[in-house]
Copies of this chain bind each other. A is one copy, B any other.
Amino acid sequence: MTGVLRPGYCQLRVLDLNESIRFYTDVMGLIETGRDASGRVYFKTADERDHHSVIIREADQAGMDFYAFKVLDKRTLDKLEVDLNEYGVATERMPADGLLETGERVRFVAPTKHVFELYWEMTEVGDGQGYINPGVRVDGPGGICPIRLDHWQIHGADLDGSRDLFINVLGFHLVERITGEDGATDMAVWLTCSTKAHDIAFVRDERDNTLHHASYLLESWEKVLHAADVMSAKGVSLDIGPLRHGITRGCTIYAFDPSGNRFETFSGGYAFYPDMKPYTWTHEEIGAAIFYHTRELNERFLTVVT
């Protein structure tokens, strides 16, 4: 409970900007909230209140530029910067005009080589309901229309380093882990900074600074079905699902955006409280851990990252 609230935004590299704008609006059902001078396009979900949660920029190679967590306030931001520095992690202050409608950010590189940012200020553009006598949104913008950007799964060699940094400095909790054949090494860890079953997951993988997926939350298992129907109707390349994970118990689909960046649309998962012990999945049960129903892994799911 250090004041890191949740995944706030991320900046994704896409191969064709216009195709990707169409994808993130028509298929994913996000709302475009701005474009900046460098050509980046900003999106939020219909239900999110802050100005953006997904930024895309055109590049030669897919993948994620950086991952940002919102923190409670300026005091928290300043303290976490000090804590990071004291832990031996270099930080960089990114000025407030670097991203649309976003305040100062503290940037650092985790041991898995991913670039992270912390920030506390972003313009609240609202969810269209206001704070006085709000209603329930009944007509979405179409497409998958998730509730929020929820978490990321990212890969890198020094899982232990990133795990320890997030736990020891940023105050995350270890919620679930998959251990290796030795029964001790963490091959993958799911961490939370809230009562969600996960706010971020790290997987041990020689390919540093890679993205396995960005994940979007849906309201229900019926909405997961709808997302799968949307994907099929709109020609999205589906990876796997609908299915349930053993890990987190979430119910999910994985698919690829037009640039090959994997994304997840899921619902469910239990609530985490810090009086809970971490769940451990042993090497033999990795199939059930990932794909609870078939209990068998899929090669593509394990190998494709961007």
Contact = CB atoms under 8 A, between A and B. Distances in A.
A37 interface: no
A274 B5 contact: yes
Interface in A229-277: 229-234, 238, 240-244, 246, 249, 251, 253, 268, 270-271, 273-277
Interface residues of A, number: 67
Given A3-B1, A243-B242, A275-B72, A225 B221 contact: yes
Given A243-B242, A293-B229, A134 B221 contact: no
A288 B133 contact: yes
Number of copies of chain A assembled together: 4
Residue among A70, A138, A226, A251 having the largest count of chain B Cβ atoms under 10 Å? A138
B238 A293 contact: yes
A231 B279 CA distance: 22
Chain A interface mostly helix, strand, loop or mixed?
A: loop
A292 interface: yes
Interface of A: 1, 3, 5-6, 47, 49-50, 70, 72, 131-139, 142-143, 148, 194-196, 219-222, 225-226, 228-234, 238, 240-244, 246, 249, 251, 253, 268, 270-271, 273-282, 285, 288-289, 292-295
